[in-house]
Structure 1
Amino acid sequence: MTGGRPTRTVEEERTYRKQRLAASFRIFARLGFDEGAGGHITARDPGDPHQFWINPFTVPFARIRVSDLILVDADGHVLQGTGTVNPAGYAIHSAIHAARPDVVAAAHTHSVYGRAWAALGRQLDPLTQDACVFFEDHAVYEGFEGVVLDSVEGKRIAEVLGGGKAVVLRNHGLLTVGTTVQEAAWWFVTMDSCARVQLIAEAAGTPVPISSDIARATATVMGTPAMGRLNFRPMYADIVRAQPDLLD
Structure 2
Amino acid sequence: MSVDSLELKKQLMTGCRVLDSFGIFDEQGHLSSRVGDGSDLICINGNTSPGTAGIQEFETYDLTRSGYPDSVPGETPIHSQIYRARDDVGAICHNHSPYAVIVASAGLELRPVHQVGTIQKNSVAVYDEYDERGGTLITTDSEAKDVAALLGDDRALMLKGHGAVVAGATVTEAVLGSIKLEYNAMLIYHQAAIGEPWYLPEHVIEQNVEFVWDEAKMEKSIDYYLSNADVLNSFV
- Superposition TM-score, scaled by structure 1 size: 0.81
CA-CA distance at 1:67 after TM superposition: 2.7
Contact 1:45 1:51 in 2 (8 A): yes
Give yes or no for contact 1:140–1:169 (8 Å, CA) kept in 2. yes
CA distance in 1, matches of 2:122, 2:219: 20
> Is 1:93 paired with 2:75?
no
Task: Measure, in 1, the Cα distance between the counterparts of 2:220 and 2:152.
Answer: 25
Shift in Å, 1:76: 4.4
Counterpart position of 2:110: 124
Retained in 2: the 8 A contact 1:144–1:169?
Answer: no
Q: Using a 3 Å threshold, how does the CA distance of structure 1 residues 100 and 233 change in structure 2: closer, same or farther?
A: farther
Quickly say closer, same or farther: Cα 1:127–1:44, change in 2 above 3 A: same
- Asked if 1:84 corresponds to 2:74, the answer is no
Counterpart residue number, 1:15? 6
Deviation at 1:108, TM superposition (A): 0.9
1:40 aligns with 2:30: yes
Alignment CA distance shift 1:97-1:227 (3 Å): farther
Partner of residue 65, structure 1: 54
Structure 1: stretches of 5+ with no match in the other structure: 1-10
2:42 counterpart residue number: 52
SS in 2 for 1:244: coil
RMSD of aligned Cα (Å): 2.4
Residue type of the alignment partner of 1:181: V
Q: 1:212 aligns with which of 196, 199, 202?
A: 202
Q: Secondary structure at the match of 1:153?
A: helix
Distance 2:71 2:164 in 1: 23
Aligned length: 228
Per the alignment, in what secondary structure is the counterpart of residue 54 of structure 1? strand
Alignment of 1:215-230 (within 5 A): 215-224=205-214, 227-228=217-218, 230=220
Per the alignment, in what secondary structure is the counterpart of residue 207 of structure 1?
coil
Equivalent residue, structure 2, for 1:115: 101
> 5+ unaligned residues in a row in structure 2: which ranges?
none
SS in 1 for 2:119: helix
- Asked if residue 26 in structure 1 is aligned to residue 17 in structure 2, the reply is yes
Question: For residues 130-169 of structure 1, what are the structure 2 equivalents within 5 Å?
Answer: 130-136=116-122, 138-145=124-131, 146=135, 147-169=137-159
Give the direction of change, closer, same or farther, for the CA distance of 1:107–1:200 in structure 2 (3 Å limit).
Answer: same
Aligned partners of 1:186 and 1:229 also within 8 Å: no
Cα distance change on mapping 1:150 and 1:100 into 2, 3 Å:
same
Q: 1:168 to 1:229 in 2, by over 3 A?
A: farther
Report if aligned partners of 1:14, 1:46 keep a CA contact under 8 Å in 2.
no
**Correspondence for 1:175:** 165
Residues 236/20 of structure 1: CA separation in 2 closer, same or farther (3 Å cut):
farther
